[in-house]
Amino acid sequence: MTSRDSVLSCKSISKYYTKGKDVVKALNNINLEITRGEISSVVGPSGSGKSTLLYVLSGLTPPSEGSIFINELSLSKMQQSQRAAFIRDNIGFVFQDWQLLASLNAYENVLLPLMLKGARSITSEMKEEVLKYFEMFQLLDRTHHYPSELSGGEQQRIAIIRALIKKPSIVFFDEPTGSLDAAAADILTSSIHKAIHQEKCTFIIVSHDSKMLSISNHSYRIEYGKLKQLF
Ligand SMILES: Nc1ncnc2c1ncn2[C@@H]1O[C@H](COP(=O)(O)OP(=O)(O)O)[C@@H](O)[C@H]1O
Ligand SMILES: [Mg+2]
């Protein structure tokens, strides 16, 4: 047990990729503790291990060494099917390329995780909750648009709402400002702040862009798979 309200902790995480005779040490002995209701960011250059860190911490890829605890439960001690259900219900992921379903509109994309979590029908409370997030992310006038009819920034904010709607313990966010202009990046950061303050979400954000430092409670730098705390 830890004294702070720890949502994630990891101990001595390493991740190796083997390609023929070459071994890439993408993560090198990483220790990290994430407190509920905070934004933690990891900044580093391309190829430094940021995406690998997110995939490993969120349980999508197993580490080569070390252990990860989310809500004090060990991911590695779970059976594969148990881990898949745990990730589905507790982890939100905003991928670098958003991965919205092209055949569903914005509203339907956001409802999807609720259906996957087992909702038989969409109640009026669920609809209200979804619209609350669309308002928070300045997208109320875009609910019926399809991904192809939305700007990159709008698609990204839909992907965040889709991650938040199931009330995950942690949202992992890969390269938030990668393809945004300054105005879209401002809407993004102010929306995330609202989500944190109103919903007590926890975010782990990785980015090559040090702008993310200004919205973070804690920040780390990653280089060649090694993590150093900045603040
Ligand atoms: N599936 C893979 N197989 C082999 N090497 C990989 C694989 N994925 C990533 N890498 C290597 O691991 C390192 C870290 O990659 P990545 O985590 O994608 O970095 P970042 O997100 O910071 O750009 C890079 O050197 C990359 O080439
Ligand atoms: Mg990456």
* Structural domain range at position 134: 6-229
Contacts of 39 by beta carbon, 8 Å cutoff, 6+ apart: 192, 196, 202, 203, 205, 215, 216, 217, 218
Residue 153 CA from chain centroid, whole number: 16
- For the CA of 46, the closest atom of ligand 1 is 23
List the residue whose alpha carbon is closest to atom 16 of ligand 1: 49
61: CATH: 3.40.50.300
Burial of 46 (0-12, 13-18, 19+ CB in 10 A): exposed
> pLDDT tens, position by position, for the chain (231 residues)?
445 689 999 999 999 999 899 999 999 999 999 999 999 999 999 999 999 999 999 999 999 999 999 999 999 999 999 999 999 999 999 998 899 999 999 999 999 998 888 888 889 999 999 999 999 999 999 999 999 999 999 999 999 999 999 999 999 999 887 678 888 888 998 999 899 888 888 999 999 888 777 889 999 999 999 999 999
Query: What is the model's pTM?
Result: 0.92
Kindly state whether residue 1 falls inside one of the protein's structural domains: no
Residues with CB under 5 A from ligand 2 (ion): 50-51
Give residue 3's identity as a one-letter amino acid code.
Answer: S
27 within a domain of the structure (yes/no):
yes
54 in contact with ligand 1, CB cutoff 6 A: no
Asked if the structure places residue 156 within a domain, the reply is yes
Domain count, the chain: 1
In-domain check, residue 216: yes
52 in contact with ligand 1, CB cutoff 6 A: yes
CA distances from 123 to 111, 117, 129 (A): 11, 14, 10
Reduced DSSP (H G I as helix, E B as strand, rest coil) percent helix, strand, coil of the chain, to 5? 35, 30, 35
